[in-house]
Amino acid sequence: MLCGHMPIRRLSETTINRIAAGEVIERPAAAVKELVENALDAGARRIEVILAGGGIERIEVIDDGCGIPADELPLAIERHATSKLQDEALVRIATLGFRGEALPSIGAAARLSLISRPAGQEAAWRIDVAGGAVTAARPVPGIKGTRAIAEDLFYATPARRKFLRSPRAEAEAAERTVWRLALSASQVAFRLVSDERVIFDLPAQDEAARVAALFGREAASTMLKLDAQRDDVRLSGLIGPASLNRATAQLQSFVVNGRPVQDSLLRLSLRLAYRDVIPAGRFPVAALRLELPDEALDVNVHPAKSELRFADQTGVRSLVIGAINRALAQTVSLSTAPVAALPSLGLYTPPAPPSRAARGFAEAELALAAPPVARPVFMEPEPEAVEQHPLGAPLTQILDTYVLAQAPDGSLVIVDQHAAHERLTEERLRAQFAEGRIAAQPLLVPVVVEFAPMETARLLAEAETLARLGLEIEPFGPGAVLVRSVPAALKEPDAAGLLRDLAEEFTETGAPLALEAKLDAALARLACHRSIRAGRRLQREEMSALLREMEATPRAATCSHGRPTFLKLTRADLEKLFGRRG
C-alpha cells in the first residue's frame, strides 16, 4: 500500500442509513417534526404528540389520518420510498414531506414502531425497526389512523447522543416545533403532552383563534391584520403593533405554502420592516403566511426542509416589508398604546406605620428638604378636545419633559415630548425625501470637523448618500471633513455632533439593503437633532398641537429609536396601583 492509501470500499447499508439519519434527525425536535408532518400529509384532523425525557426517551405521535395499508408498511421504512412525490422534476411539491427519508432515518437512529390501520382494513398492522434492523409486520389491535413511536433516540449512535442538550432543553425545542406546526394547520386539532404535562389541547379552529391560543389572548388582541398581494404572491396573517415586542424571536411564525419554516429572508424582511419602530435588541411579534406558485419556490434545499429558496427574492422581500410598513403606518390610538409598566401594579402591599424613631428622623429631615421646583400648572381640559380626539386634551406639563392629557375614556395619557416630536420630524423628513425636496441650507462659514481616520473615511464614502439629505461634505486634509451645507429643516444644527452621530450610525449599518438602511439611519438621526428637547417648557397651544399632530402621523406611537412616545394609565391601572379593589 503506497502513500498511506486506504482501499476504497462500499459502506454497509446500516452505516449509510445512520449517516443519512444524522442529516435528517439531528435532535428529538427533528423527529417530532417529521412524524407530525407525516400525520398532516395523511389528512389527519386530530394529532396528539406525547414526549418523555425531552423526546430522547420516547416520542409518540397519534393521528386519525388515512393510515398505511399493511402491504405497504415494509416499503414505508425503506429509504427514498414515498407516496407523496408525484412530480419527479421536484417542481410542484404540495406535501410537507417528499424525500422518503424520515421514517428510515428515525428507524436507523432509534427504536421505531409503526401501528397503522386505513379505513376498510379489518385490523391494524405493526412494524418495528431498531437501529436499521426490521421486524416483520404483524396484525395488532388498533383504531383508524397511525401511531408512530420512537424510543431511545440515538441509542445506535452514542457519539450523536452525547451531543444532545439536557432533556428539558430538548423538550423545549420539540414543544416549539409542535407549536409552529399547530400554527400552520389551524384546521387540525392538536394536543401536546410533555412528561405527563399537557402543554396545549386545541380544537380545530380558524387562524385568528389559533394565534390567540398559542400567542396568548392579551398579545393577539392588539395584533394587526395583514393581507397583501403582488402578482401571484399573497401575504396574510397577524403582526403586533410597535408596542408589542419581545426580548426574543419566540413569538414569530412563518408559514409558506402551508409549510412552517425558519427562513432567513423572511426573518430579515420582518426585522427590516420594524427596524425604526422598536428598540434595538427587541423582536416583533408576527404570524405570517405566504402563498405563491409551487414553481416559484424550491423547498429541496436542506434535508430538514425548513429552509427555502425563492425564485424572486427581491419581490418577496419587498412585499413583506411594504405590507408591514403600511399596517404599522396607522395613526395612534389608545388600543395600541403601550401600557405604563409600573412595577407595583398588582403587587400593592399596605405599608406598615412608621416607627417612632422613623417619624422623628422624618421630622428632622424637613429642615433639609430640597429647594422647591417649578410647579406644573394644571389646566381645565377642553370638553370638545377630550371627546373628539384619541389622545384627548392636555392637562399640564411636568418636569418640562412630559405632557399629561386626559383621554376620552378617562385614561391618563403621558407623552414624552422629545420622543413624540422626533417621530413627527422624521415622518416629515421622509415625506420630503420621497418627494425629492429635502432642501440644503448653505453655511455662511463652512465648518471643519475632525475625526479619527477610520471615521473620516467612512463619512466620505457616504458623501453621496448625505448629499441626498441636504448635508454636503468634502475632505479637508487628513482626519477632517468640511461641512458646506446642512438640511434646511435643522434650524440651528450642531454640525460636528450630527456628523459624529451619523458616523456611528453608518458603522452599525449592515450590508443587506445598505443604501436604504443608511438613509433610514440618517433620517432618524436628523430627526433627533431637530426635535423639541426634554427640559423645554411648552405652552398649552404647543401641547395641544403636539397631540393633534401625533394623531395624524403614521407610526407616532414610537420614536425613531423604537421607544414609546406615549403611555396610558387606565382607571383599572390606577386602582391597582393604589390597592383599590374596585
> In the chain, what are the domain boundaries?
13-202, 207-329, 331-345+380-582
Question: pLDDT value at position 194?
Answer: 93
Buried b (16+ CB within 10 A) or exposed e, 369-392: eeeeeeeeeeeeebeebbeebbbb
Question: pLDDT value at position 272?
Answer: 87
* CB-CB contact of 419 with 527 (8 Å): no
- Which CATH number does 13-202 carry? 3.30.565.10
Dump strand ranges (E) for 274-392.
283-284, 286-291, 297-298, 309-310
- Which CATH number does 331-345+380-582 carry? 3.30.1370.100
Q: Report which of 419, 393, 423 is spatially closest to residue 407, judged by C-alpha positions.
A: 393
Question: pLDDT value at position 95?
Answer: 57
Buried b (16+ CB within 10 A) or exposed e, 247-277: eeeebbbbbbbebbbebebbebbbbbbbbbb
First to last CA, the chain: 90
* CB-CB contact of 514 with 465 (8 Å): no
Q: Report which of 262, 260, 263 is spatially closest to residue 183, judged by C-alpha positions.
A: 260
Q: Beta partners for 48?
A: 62, 191
Tell me the C-alpha distance between 471 and 484, whole Å: 8
Tell me the C-alpha distance between 433 and 57, whole Å: 60
What proportions of the chain, in percent to the nearest 5, are helix, strand and coil? 35, 25, 40
Tell me the C-alpha distance between 472 and 466, whole Å: 7
Tell me the C-alpha distance between 417 and 400, whole Å: 9
φ, ψ for residue 127, nearest 5 deg: -135, 140
User: Cβ–Cβ contacts within 10 Å for residue 151, how many?
Assistant: 17
pTM: 0.65
Q: Report which of 382, 384, 385, 405 is spatially closest to residue 395, judged by C-alpha positions.
A: 405
- Which residues of the chain carry a pLDDT beneath 70? 1-24, 79-100, 300-307, 331-387, 436-438, 454-455, 489-495, 497, 501-535, 560-561, 581-582
* CB-CB contact of 115 with 126 (8 Å): yes
Q: What angle do CA 394, 222, 192 make, to 5 degrees?
A: 155
Q: Please name the residues in contact with 349: beta carbons below 8 A apart, sequence gap of 6 or more.
A: 579
Tell me the C-alpha distance between 309 and 320, whole Å: 16
Locate 139 and state its grid cell: 396484525
Q: Please name the residues in contact with 124: beta carbons below 8 A apart, sequence gap of 6 or more.
A: 115, 116, 117, 139, 140, 141, 142, 143
Q: Domain 207-329 class?
A: alpha beta
* CB-based burial label for 166 (10 Å; 0-12, 13-18, 19+): exposed
Q: What angle do CA 201, 202, 208 make, to 5 degrees?
A: 145
Tell me the C-alpha distance between 505 and 513, whole Å: 15
The whole-angstrom distance between residue 468's C-alpha and the CA centroid of its chain comes to 32
Q: What percent of the chain has pLDDT over 70?
A: 71
Q: What angle do CA 107, 255, 298 make, to 5 degrees?
A: 70
The DSSP 8-state label assigned to residue 524 in this structure reads H
Residues 444-470 pLDDT 10s: 888 888 777 766 777 787 788 778 777
Type of residue found at 71: D
Question: pLDDT value at position 472?
Answer: 86
- Length in residues, the chain: 582
Q: Report which of 182, 195, 39, 175 is spatially closest to residue 102, judged by C-alpha positions.
A: 39
Locate 280 and state its grid cell: 434595538
Type of residue found at 134: V
Q: Report which of 213, 205, 145 is spatially closest to residue 179, judged by C-alpha positions.
A: 213
Question: pLDDT value at position 352?
Answer: 44
Q: Please name the residues in contact with 403: beta carbons below 8 A apart, sequence gap of 6 or more.
A: 394, 396, 397, 414, 415, 417, 538, 543, 546, 547
Dump strand ranges (E) for 13-55.
46-52
Tell me the C-alpha distance between 188 and 43, whole Å: 9
